[in-house]
Chain A
């Protein structure tokens, strides 16, 4: 029996029996709605333009365009969001029937959430216009990306992506959140129960100690994810939005780059959580610190999903965050720049190697015996999780 297996078994048993880890179970239930809440609340933060094809050219179509402009929408011929006003639109309103508008969205890539967000703003204004003129006014969506056409509302685009081609990276990401909490707690439990000193003098390599904790945390997270999947499955069956509305096709190579990138980011999150939690004094501090690590790596995802632009110094900062690298690899692969995509993965591999080396050094150097992080002032993070 190898030392890694012995370590893995002990750690898994220790984690599964600790009730405090329930906080880690609660975290994604709060974090994920929070993420989508931020996305929802950022509707008006981007400048929006729309291309208008007015096949009606009647009184109401002109009023609609003027209404959009009055509300800050720029009418621009090169905009990826097109509002198609069908012929007979004004007459339909006058005769109180239900006219239908088409909002066509042309995404530059599957992760072009900025354009999706613009379409959502246009939709909101069209509905506001309708509420003042004709409540039965409807809008129909066509989202085009890479040759695929989706008939979904913009607000459903992200979930349709996550149910389809991005399901694997999403699963990895959720597992990473759980696992980084578990690994931080596992290390902190060693410190809290004063077993770490003994462990470091046992005849087992530092690498096996680190990997034993990483693997047992992954195993724990997979168990939690399985239970989440069951409840999520029940939720989507009952949800009125679960109907099929077309599927998005993304070619294999970009998906592969995205999945490998997400996996590398996943390992990096675990290693970082393990490294910082080595210096905490108890499980609560460790969970707080792990929460911060997650936030640091989640920033690019939040920025991306919110549709904010990535230009200027802020953009450079976000793009250098390892959390952005899977996205960079994906976008480069979509654009056919495989050299750049590979470079992004190498960047993540280097980060992993650096953090692993640092963790082994921390074990060997003895700084664990003398240095501490007092995460007491970060307790609010735990309270939020609770």
Chain B
């Protein structure tokens, strides 16, 4: 059974159609990338999958559960990292991780201590975990949030632009962590990015989304071969042009 099944998904903001009927499937344990420029509809897709907002039309299932009718069940299986997320500024990093571990332990019956200790390890912030979050740099906050997302070992991790706004070192470290974690724990990861090289490094399969439509999908190798391109960036440009100019 696929971990995600999306069919004919449509969503509008007033008169603007952000998604115009997209469909895709994601297999369990894979890292799937949604790539596209800003405003393509990536974040909207991820928000719908994370049960933050309902779609206008179409069907979305996570692990066989309908995301509208069975949202509470879906929330036990997923863990979401928004693009511009923050943590509670008045709590310490440690308190924040404990809060999330307690909630998941309460809802899913997983071992709270185990999740908490994994969070500490994934964050890699050492003694700074005992400082309040408002003293953290952007990179440190992002590491804490990624640790929070992954420590609960979800069936599906949804990561919206996980390395957005980070310097090269921090971005590299986070990408490594995501890939390693997914391989070790078998966690399915849906990642969105407009950084094609990042997606090429991370993902088993990708879907290129442009103006609310999926214009291509496949493994990075397949797509590069199909478009006779050296990297995903070239694939994206050629696939988008094909849609724009027919």
Chain B's nearest CB lies how many Å from the CB of A192? 8
- Asked whether, in the complex, the Cβ of A194 is within 8 Å of the Cβ of B13, the reply is no
Asked if B39 is an interface residue, CB under 8 A from chain A, the answer is no
Chain B's nearest CB lies how many Å from the CB of A232? 29
In chain B, what residue has the closest Cβ to A9?
Answer: B99
Known pairs A6-B106, A10-B99, A369-B47; A194 contacts B86 (CB<8 A): yes
User: How far, in angstroms, from A200 to B50 measured CA to CA in the complex?
Assistant: 9
Range class of the A interface residue count: 20 to 34
Contacts of A7 in B (CB 8 A): 103
Chain B's nearest CB lies how many Å from the CB of A287? 17
Contacts of B95 in A (CB 8 A): 10, 13
Task: Label chain B's interface by main secondary structure.
Answer: mixed
- Asked whether, in the complex, the Cβ of A195 is within 8 Å of the Cβ of B88, the reply is yes
- Asked whether, in the complex, the Cβ of B106 is within 8 Å of the Cβ of A201, the reply is no
- Asked whether, in the complex, the Cβ of B106 is within 8 Å of the Cβ of A366, the reply is no
User: How far, in angstroms, from A197 to B50 measured CA to CA in the complex?
Assistant: 9
Range class of the B interface residue count: 35 or more
User: How far, in angstroms, from A189 to B87 measured CA to CA in the complex?
Assistant: 10
- Asked whether, in the complex, the Cβ of B87 is within 8 Å of the Cβ of A193, the reply is yes
Asked if B84 is an interface residue, CB under 8 A from chain A, the answer is yes
- Asked whether, in the complex, the Cβ of B52 is within 8 Å of the Cβ of A193, the reply is no
Contacts of A239 in B (CB 8 A): none
Scan B89-116; emit 1 where CB is below 8 A from any A CB, else 0: 1110001000110111011100000000
Residues 1 to 21 of chain B near chain A (Cβ within 8 Å): 13
Asked if B53 is an interface residue, CB under 8 A from chain A, the answer is yes
Asked if A321 is an interface residue, CB under 8 A from chain B, the answer is no
- Asked whether, in the complex, the Cβ of A17 is within 8 Å of the Cβ of B103, the reply is no
Asked if B218 is an interface residue, CB under 8 A from chain A, the answer is no
User: How far, in angstroms, from A193 to B133 measured CA to CA in the complex?
Assistant: 10
Say which residue of B50, B54, B81, B88 sits within 8 Å of A193 (CB atoms): B88
Known pairs A2-B106, A6-B103, A365-B54; A203 contacts B86 (CB<8 A): no
User: How far, in angstroms, from A200 to B145 measured CA to CA in the complex?
Assistant: 15
Contacts of A3 in B (CB 8 A): 103, 106-107
Say which residue of B54, B76, B91, B107 sits within 8 Å of A10 (CB atoms): B91
- Asked whether, in the complex, the Cβ of B13 is within 8 Å of the Cβ of A198, the reply is no
User: How far, in angstroms, from A1 to B104 measured CA to CA in the complex?
Assistant: 11
Contacts of A18 in B (CB 8 A): 90
- Asked whether, in the complex, the Cβ of B50 is within 8 Å of the Cβ of A195, the reply is no
- Asked whether, in the complex, the Cβ of B107 is within 8 Å of the Cβ of A204, the reply is yes
Q: Which residues of A contact B (CB under 8 A)?
A: 1-3, 6-7, 10, 13-14, 17-18, 189, 193-195, 197-198, 200-205, 364-366, 369-370
- 15 sample A-B contacts, Cβ–Cβ < 8 Å, listed by A number: A2-B106, A6-B102, A17-B90, A18-B90, A189-B89, A193-B86, A198-B81, A198-B145, A200-B51, A201-B79, A202-B100, A203-B72, A203-B75, A364-B71, A366-B54
